[in-house]
Amino acid sequence: MRKSRAGMTGRTVVPASVIEREFLVEERLQKIMARASYGSRRSCETIISEGRVTVNGRVAKLGDKADPATDHIEVDGQSLGGQTQAGPDNGFIYIALNKPRGVISSLEDELEAGRTTVRDLVDVDSSHHIYPVGRLDKPSEGLVLMTNDGALAHRLTHPRYGHEKVYDVTVEGNISDLVLDQWRRGVILDGRITAPAPIELIERGADSSRLRIILREGRKRQIRRIAAGLGHPVRQLIRERIGPLTLGDLQPGQWRSLTSGEVAELKQSVTDDPASRDPLPNHPNRKKDSRAARSST
């Protein structure tokens, strides 16, 4: 059966259990460790198998899950990056970087092909063990947050918390209102419907259109894959905002430390109980909670 654009935009009902699983806070240990720059997931699995990882004082085994925001994880007797509780100025570092096109959002080039990484652009002592929060693919540009605060990074990236990310996107062609409406409502991607996304048409030309897109979920290359599937491949993608943190006037390749006010705003944005708010409003498959509905009136 031939796949078409129409098939991509059909409204398929996804079981609530699938949506609920997506918003679970716990993740497999190897995924948490890889995000904290302990190596690839495969190498992190080896570390776990060797009995070198503990969760809340118990030796972990392969397949275990944890929540770095609430569980105490140690690797070789050392707390996972960002879990120390040593005082108000506990050595955490928070950096905003304007990632240029062609730079990879990793600490090292696993292909050893001489590619520039975001870590190469930031002049911070390696002992601080900072890492990028989330990913921005190689052809994309814009705001990348780097930190060694593991608990904050986890809550900013986990889909349950639904933090907004704003993108300035130029796509090929004169995109129609019909296609924009389809995109806003959600399309099928990897067998699941995407969350509704606010999309503003900034400029429409004969051979390209410029959009501002707000996402509250983060699937792999989501914007690029949807745009291509709708017949309007991405020409340029710039991330402008992560939660309350904005790119500002940083030029490509430039970075700066966050102000204390910006750090406070980021921390405040992750202190809300995610169960008390809708992480993906108006999602057609989200489970209704009558108690939450009553409390919001």
Q: Would you state the pLDDT for residue 81?
A: 57
Regarding pTM above 0.85, the answer is no
Q: Higher pLDDT residue, 157 or 80?
A: 157
Give the separation between CA 243 and CA 149, rounded to whole angstroms.
Answer: 16
Cα 112–Cα 101–Cα 96 angle in degrees, nearest 5: 95
Give the separation between CA 100 and CA 142, rounded to whole angstroms.
Answer: 7
Report, at the CATH architecture level, how domain 16-80 is classified: Roll (3.10)
- Out of 67-71, 138-142, 162-166, least confident range: 67-71
Q: Which backbone phi and psi does 157 adopt, to 5 degrees?
A: -105, -20
Q: Would you state the pLDDT for residue 112?
A: 67
Q: With a cut of 60, say whether residue 274 has pLDDT above it.
A: no
Q: For the chain, give the mean pLDDT.
A: 80
**Mean pLDDT of all residues in 8-33:** 55
Q: With a cut of 60, say whether residue 22 has pLDDT above it.
A: no
Q: Where in the chain is the domain with CATH 3.10.290.10?
A: 16-80
Partnered with residue 220 across adjacent β-strands are none
Question: Alpha carbon of 192 to those of 79, 165, 208: distances in Å?
Answer: 36, 20, 28
- Out of 57-61, 86-90, 249-253, least confident range: 86-90
Q: With a cut of 80, say whether residue 134 has pLDDT above it.
A: yes
Structure tokens given for 81? 């990056």
Residue 181 annotated in active site? no
Res. 208 pLDDT band, cuts 50 70 90: very high
Q: Would you state the pLDDT for residue 80?
A: 73
Q: Where in the chain is the domain with CATH 3.30.70.1560?
A: 164-242
Give the separation between CA 168 and CA 88, rounded to whole angstroms.
Answer: 36
Q: Would you state the pLDDT for residue 18?
A: 40
Q: pLDDT per residue over 230-261, tens digit each? A: 999 999 999 999 999 999 999 999 999 999 99
Q: Would you state the pLDDT for residue 201?
A: 98
Among residues 72, 73, 86, the alpha carbon closest in space to that of 33 is found at 73
Q: pLDDT per residue over 160-206, tens digit each? A: 777 899 999 999 999 999 999 999 999 999 999 999 999 999 999 98
Annotated catalytic residue: which of 137, 181, 272, 289? Answer: 137
SS3 at position 242: strand
Q: With a cut of 60, say whether residue 278 has pLDDT above it.
A: no
Q: Does domain 164-242 have CATH number 3.30.70.1560?
A: yes
**Mean pLDDT of all residues in 25-36:** 79
